[in-house]
Amino acid sequence: MSRRLFSPPILVALAAIAAFLPSLGNGFVNLDDGWYLLTNPHFKGWTLENIKWMFTPWPRGGHYAPLTWMSFGLDWSLWGMRPMGYHLTSNLLHAGGAVAFYFVGLRLFEDARTPKPDAAAFLAALLFAVHPLRVESVAWASERRDVLSGLLYLLTIHFYLRRRLAASLACYAASLLSKSMGMTLPFALILLDFYPLARLPASPRGWVRPPERAVWLEKLPFLALAAAIAAVTVKLQVASGAAWPVEKLSAVWRVGVACYGLMFYLAKTALPLGLVPLYPMPSRIEDMAPVLALSILGGVCATALCALRAKRSPALLTVWAFYAVSLAPVSGLAQIGPQIAADRYSYIPCLGWALLLGWGVSRLPRNGAWAAGGLWILLLAGLTWRQTGIWRDSETLWTATAASYPRHAPSRLFLGNIMDGQGRADEARGYYLEALSLEPGYGAAHNNLANLLVRLDRGEEALGHYEAALRASPGHQAVHYNWGVALLRLGRRGEAAEHFRQELGLAPDHEPSLRGLEAALRDTRGRTSSQEKENRGKRGFPR
């Protein structure tokens, strides 16, 4: 019984839970938790209406994650809106993912004929479980997507390695319905077929023989699922305004940003210090030209080194290729959102580095391996414990971020939001202006400052900030609505109506915009014109 209690999977799960224990005392934060959970009635219980909403693609947020919403619905049924329950579920999902990773690693190390596969898998799973880069995915309630999709992603590989393809495909579908991050998994499976599974030869000449053709053909269902979720995700990201058009970030700069990400997560894996919730893209990407050039050089050199050592160290090339392929959807090649990097993006891509590091430590002399590995794990767990505490509430999160990065504009924005919510208008305005002094083109800061000015009856002053916000994020839904409200309060009904219409073009069921449009179109007798009623009927708006 005692041996079973101290088995590697149990120890991995306990380590994961212990490292993130402070999160159980954390609350929700003002980084998506507000509109995602606190003010959202649609996830509260598995009613037929709510489930329909969960499985309907909505532009806001840019993600299609119905199973994540269902997990939140279960949380609400169990805990109401007590944050502890939501954090407990995320912790357990992460612990489950770490255990699944142990079994995946064990099978891969056995296939690679590693001398001590159990020790290597144990160390790799511990590294993944307690690394500070995991904090954003686990301690941030809204980012449930990562831990749920990550667990299902690892189960997909687990069943694939055991040739249970139906179970693997089912887990993959569930993973994609939790978050689309796993859309590159078919390519990861192909990499594993080369090494360590040896189901595909290195020479392309052998790829068309009947056994190898079967290996390629079995990937078709996985590719079909990946293509479907990729299409939905792209549509939502474009509709939400999160996707950057080519005019805003050219192809050359995108390559630089992608290579920067490759170097960034590698560096943070080795030295996980100075972690913050948002690493903002500079308003002038040209200012980062030297750093991006070095990143491209680093990416090319790393790829060349891995390719040159492929025969002697096939594991190194496999890990590097898995890392680059898995990171591709969030690497900047298709730039999404205002960040140049985010800790949560490392959740799946850095699995390979954990395996490589676990293998390396396990090859040390036995006493040295456990001493070095144990010390390293304890150090990482301590950093994770501290980083998790930073997410206790909005003020601790952004105060710590601002202290670590004096020129970090998003921290000023969110501190401004906190002050605004507490009715401290002057302090809120100061933080918004500070954010804009650091990033003059920061659309969210312009929008929130404008909202504050409208509430202070300084509507004319607010209009310029709404215009700047739309220049920064042309497809941003909330700006058109907010601008329309400001114009309505100024009595400029025709202009207000136009902004409400544009908002409804982005989100046809946005009730506040429907009400705003109706108010803007009332004539002097307080009635909506018959022509507009007819137009609304044609557009499918409720009468």
pLDDT digits (tens, 9 = 90+) for 231-244: 999 888 887 777 77
Tell me: cis bond preceding 329? Omega within 30 of 0 counts: no
Question: Rg of the Cα trace of the chain?
Answer: 25
Among residues 387, 468, 474, 483, which one has the least CA distance to residue 435?
468
SS3 352: helix
Sequence-ordered alpha helix ranges (H) in 7-47: 8-19, 33
Check: CB of residue 113 under 8 Å from CB of residue 253: no
Domain ranges (residues) in the chain: 9-394, 395-539
Cα–Cα distances (Å) from 478 to 61, 126, 435, 475, 507, in that order, read 12, 42, 19, 9, 10
Among 372, 326, 367, residue whose Cα is nearest residue 348: 326
CA pair distance 204, 105, nearest whole angstrom = 27
| 156, 183 Cβ separation under 8 angstroms | no
Nearest to 444 by CA among 419, 475, 479: 479
What are the backbone dihedrals phi and psi of residue 280, each rounded to the nearest 5 degrees, phi first? -70, 145
pLDDT digits (tens, 9 = 90+) for 408-420: 898 999 999 999 9
Tens-binned pLDDT, residue by residue, of the chain (543 aa) = 556 667 999 999 999 999 999 999 999 998 889 889 999 999 999 999 999 999 998 776 778 999 999 999 999 999 999 999 999 999 999 999 999 999 999 999 999 988 889 999 999 999 999 999 999 999 999 999 999 999 999 999 999 999 999 999 999 999 999 999 999 999 999 999 999 999 999 888 778 788 889 999 999 999 999 999 999 998 888 877 777 776 677 888 899 999 999 999 999 999 999 898 888 888 788 888 999 999 999 999 999 999 999 989 999 999 999 999 999 999 888 877 778 999 999 999 999 999 999 998 888 777 766 787 788 899 999 999 999 999 999 999 999 888 888 888 989 999 999 999 999 999 999 999 999 999 888 899 999 999 999 999 998 999 999 999 988 877 676 888 999 999 988 989 888 898 888 888 777 777 888 888 888 888 433 444 444 444 443 333 322
CATH topology of domain 395-539: 1.25.40
Secondary structure (3-state) at 414: helix
pLDDT value for 55 = 95
Look up the pTM and report it: 0.87
The string over 50-66, giving b where at least 16 C-beta atoms fall within 10 Å of a residue's C-beta and e elsewhere, is bbebbeeebbbbbbbbb
Tokens for 61?
């947020």
The tokens 């650091």 sit on which residue?
Answer: 438
CB distance 182 to 349 below 8 Å: no
